[in-house]
């Protein structure tokens, strides 16, 4: 889980099991779980699992991975940070060991 801001994006034609979609490069502001990194690249394929993001906007992202690609788990609690109030409070409580 990270709090991160989208700094760039590029289209991907898809390869293997992946269909076309968008890669987003995110600047990590805070790592709530896992190894802290400064940047991550997340893929969002053009399917029902798509998690569209906007450049310059911060998100609370639950990161998953498959076949060497990381993606925002769209069916989970990944959300724009400005709308993440309750989810963020729960995550902070759990990560502090008090949940």
CB atoms closer than 10 angstroms to residue 88: 17
Q: What is the span of the domain harbouring residue 30?
A: 2-95
Domain of residue 65, CATH code = 2.40.50.120
State the total domains in the chain.
1
Write down the pLDDT at residue 93.
Answer: 76
- For the chain, 99 residues long, the average pLDDT of each consecutive 10-residue run is 95 83 95 83 88 95 87 80 86 68
Contact criterion met (CB below 8 Å) for 23 and 12: yes
CB atoms closer than 10 angstroms to residue 8: 12
Write down the pLDDT at residue 34.
Answer: 74
pTM of the entire structure?
0.82
Write down the pLDDT at residue 99.
Answer: 53
Taking the C-alpha atoms of residue 26 and residue 75, their distance in angstroms, rounded to an integer, is: 19
Write down the pLDDT at residue 18.
Answer: 79
């Amino acid at each position: 889980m990270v709090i991160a801001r989208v700094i760039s994006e590029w289209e991907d034609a898809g390869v293997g099991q992946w269909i076309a979609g968008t890669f987003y490069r995110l600047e990590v502001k805070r790592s709530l779980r896992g190894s802290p990194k400064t940047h991550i690249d997340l893929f969002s394929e053009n399917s029902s699992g798509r998690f569209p993001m906007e450049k310059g906007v911060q998100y609370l992202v639950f990161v998953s991975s498959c076949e060497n690609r990381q993606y925002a788990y769209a069916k989970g609690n990944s959300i724009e940070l400005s709308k993440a109030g309750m989810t963020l409070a729960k995550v902070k409580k759990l990560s502090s060991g008090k949940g």
